Chains A and B, each alone.
Chain A
Amino acid sequence: LAKTTQPISMDSYEGQEVNITCSHNNIATNDYITWYQQFPSQGPRFIIQGYKTKVTNEVASLFIPADRKSSTLSLPRVSLSDTAVYYCLVAPGAAGNKLTFGGGTRVLVKP
């Protein structure tokens, strides 16, 4: 299973763009990259998933370079409510796989 490395924490201000990079040097050919958000005392919540290049949805963008050894979650114009822990997961798209969370990045959005 691919190991992921993310910054432990990041601070930002309301209205700014936040970019969190996750390293996954030993990603396998059939691995997907998925990001989750977790607020205190709540279950993680899916944000976005991608395999290569760029994926965008209504809340975030995910940039994956050609070698797929890293990925960057981009949160445009963050608000105070985006203060949370963000987790990068790398796992194969196979049945019953062991989806392992790393340490996550604690993002603090300040006014």
Chain B
Amino acid sequence: EPEVTQTPSHQVTQMGQEVILRCVPISNHLYFYWYRQILGQKVEFLVSFYNNEISEKSEIFDDQFSVERPDGSNFTLKIRSTKLEDSAMYFCASRQGGAGELFFGEGSRLTVL
């Protein structure tokens, strides 16, 4: 069964460092998403991406965040200067059409020290 894959599974970084989280969505999917989940809290929407541009973003997704689809298969989330409060699980998701099932990856756990 096709799946969304994310790397790394866990990253530890120092405050102020840049982090890039990578995702490979399912190959025929057109809509891509990043979510985050702080430990013990709900899943929070960060950004959606379609046709090589951001279609929606939340208030969390400020100037320190950016997304890119550099090569037609990867979908990346960059955090420019990490803060302690960026420590969370980051989930990538994709779906084929505008409605229907979202497929999530297993997540990348980011720990900012």
Contact = CB atoms under 8 A, between A and B. Distances in A.
Q: Do A and B come from one complex?
A: yes
A46 B99 contact: no
Nearest to A102: B42
Interface in A1-54: 32, 34, 36, 38, 41-46, 49
Interface string B81-106: 00000000101010000111111111
A42 B106 contact: yes
Contact of A93 (B33, B44, B99, B109): B99
Nearest to A45: B104
Given A41-B89, A43-B93, A101-B44, A96 B98 contact: yes
Nearest to B3: A43
Most chain A CB atoms below 10 A, which of B4, B58, B98: B98
Interface string A42-75: 1111100100000000000000000000000000
Nearest to A36: B102
Contacts of B18: none
Nearest to B32: A96
A73 B101 CA distance: 16
Contacts of B109: 41
Interface in B33-54: 33, 35, 42-45, 48-50
Contact of A97 (B44, B49, B98, B105): B98
Contacts of B48: 96-99
A36 B42 CA distance: 12
Given A96-B31, A98-B45, A41 B50 contact: no
Contacts of A87: 42-43
Most chain A CB atoms below 10 A, which of B43, B56, B89, B106: B43
30 contacts: A32-B99, A34-B101, A36-B102, A41-B107, A42-B107, A43-B4, A43-B91, A43-B107, A44-B91, A44-B104, A45-B104, A46-B101, A46-B102, A49-B101, A87-B42, A92-B99, A93-B99, A93-B100, A94-B99, A95-B50, A95-B98, A96-B48, A96-B50, A96-B56, A97-B55, A97-B56, A99-B33, A102-B42, A103-B42, A104-B42
